[in-house]
Amino acid sequence: MPGEATSSCWSCGTMRAVHFCSSCGKVQPPVPVDYFTFFGFPRKLNLDTSALEKEFYALSRRLHPDVFGQADTRERSWSLEQSSMLNDAYRTLKDPIKRTEYLLRLEGVELEEQSKQATEKARATGELKKQVVPPDLLEEVFELNMHLEELRIQKKLGEDDPALLEEIGKAKLSLEEKYEALFNELKTEWNNWDKSVDNGTADGTNDDRRRILDKMLDVLNRRNYVRNLVRDVNEALEN
């Protein structure tokens, strides 16, 4: 892996590990590595978050700028860069979705922006945003949108229809279940991915890996779509 390439310590000349000299313990200039490598983890998606946290705390104790309060300017600036990378890496890897998205980007997969921010941006700039309705949801979404429209009209008129609210509530529940199910679907792909990593890339599994990545992207997109729907429902109910 690229980050494990060793070179000699700037301070004592011994061969070093990624962040510090293994001999004298001095902080080293940051090397551009991916977040998995930064923590010394394989590029796998099933990740023991308590081990990650432990490692994060241990590295923080050695890399944080507070530890370099009395060090020279050069070490202070390396510490700043190293610890910002540590924090960025930890933030990304501890969250299962961010971790998956990060891996997809590392593997060269372009992500479809489905975030609220992207939606607002599209709204403000007037540019068309791709919102592909997952086929298995077409009917449900169509019905839900009709209900939501009805709700808006009723709210405007100051009316209250408990039956409609119940319908929407049911739809919301079903969407939330779907949201959970999609996460489980994602985890299945994680397992597939991790297996392919264990098997190594040498044995002609590149097509397999591509297929797993595409599948994960598809699950993420559907999941984001459902999340946005739930958000819309919540907004409609609150307003």
Partner 1 sequence: MATDYIVGIDLGTTNSLVAYMQGDSPVVIPGEDGLNLVPSVVALDEKNQIIVGNAARRYLIETPERAVYSVKRLMGRGVEDIQDELKLFPFQLAEDLHEGEVLRIKIGERTYTPPEISALVLRQLKRNAERFFGASVTQAVVTVPAYFNDAQRQATKDAGRIAGLNVLRLVNEPTAASLAYGLDKKKHGIVVVYDLGGGTFDISILKLHDGIFEVIATNGDTHLGGDDIDNLLIALALDDIRGDLGLDVRRSGEAVQRIRKAVIEAKIALSSQPSATLDVDLPGGKKYQREISLEVFEQMIQRIVDRTVGPCKQALKDAGLKPEQIDEVVLVGGSTRIPKVRRLVQDLFRRAPHTDLNPDEVVALGAAVQANILGGGSEITKEMLLLDVTPLSLGIEVAGGVTDKIILRNSTVPASATQYYTTQVDGQTNVAIHVLQGERELARDCRSLARFDLKGVPPMPAGMPRIEVKFLIDANGILRVSAREQRSGKEAEIDVQPSYGLTDEQVENMLLESFDYAEEDFRQRQVIEARREADTILTALAKGKKNQAWQELTSDERRNVETLEKALVAVKDGDDYHAIRGGIDALNEATMRLAELMMDTAVSNALKGKAMDDTDLEEGLQAGHPVAKAEFE
Q: Which of 2, 50, 70, 162 binds partner 1 (CB under 8 A)?
A: 70
Region binding partner 1 by CB under 8 A among candidate stretches 123-131, 157-165, 195-203, 204-212: 123-131
> Smaller CB distance to partner 1: residue 120 or 159?
120
Residue 27 is a binding residue for partner 1 (CB under 8 A):
no
**61 binds partner 1 per the rule CB under 8 A:** yes
H runs (alpha helix) in 64-161: 73-94, 96-106, 116-125, 138-157
Q: Which letter, b or e, does each residue of 190-223 get, where b requires 16 or more Cβ atoms within 10 Å of its Cβ?
A: bebbbebeeeeeeeebeebbeebbebbbbbbbbb
144-149 own/partner pairs: CB under 8 Å, 24+ apart: 144/168, 144/171, 144/175, 144/229, 144/233, 147/171, 148/232, 148/233, 148/236
Q: CA geometry: angle at 114 spanning 117 and 206, to 5°? A: 135
Examine residue 57 and tell whether it contacts partner 1 (CB under 8 A).
Answer: yes
The site string for partner 1 over 129-158 (x = CB under 8 A, - otherwise) reads ------------------------------
| Residues numbered 90-119 forming contacts with partner 1, rule: CB under 8 A | 90-91, 117
Q: What are phi and psi of 8, to 5 degrees?
A: -90, 150
Decide: is 80 part of the binding site for partner 1 (CB under 8 A).
yes
Q: Is 186 in the site for partner 1 (CB under 8 A)?
A: no
From 40-48, 76-84, 138-146, 150-158, span contacting partner 1 (CB under 8 A): 76-84
Which of 26, 43, 64, 187 binds partner 1 (CB under 8 A)? It is: 64
- Confirm or reject binding of residue 162 to partner 1 (CB under 8 A): no
The span from the CA of 197 to the CA of 212, in Å, is: 12
Cβ nearer to partner 1, comparing 87 with 192: 87
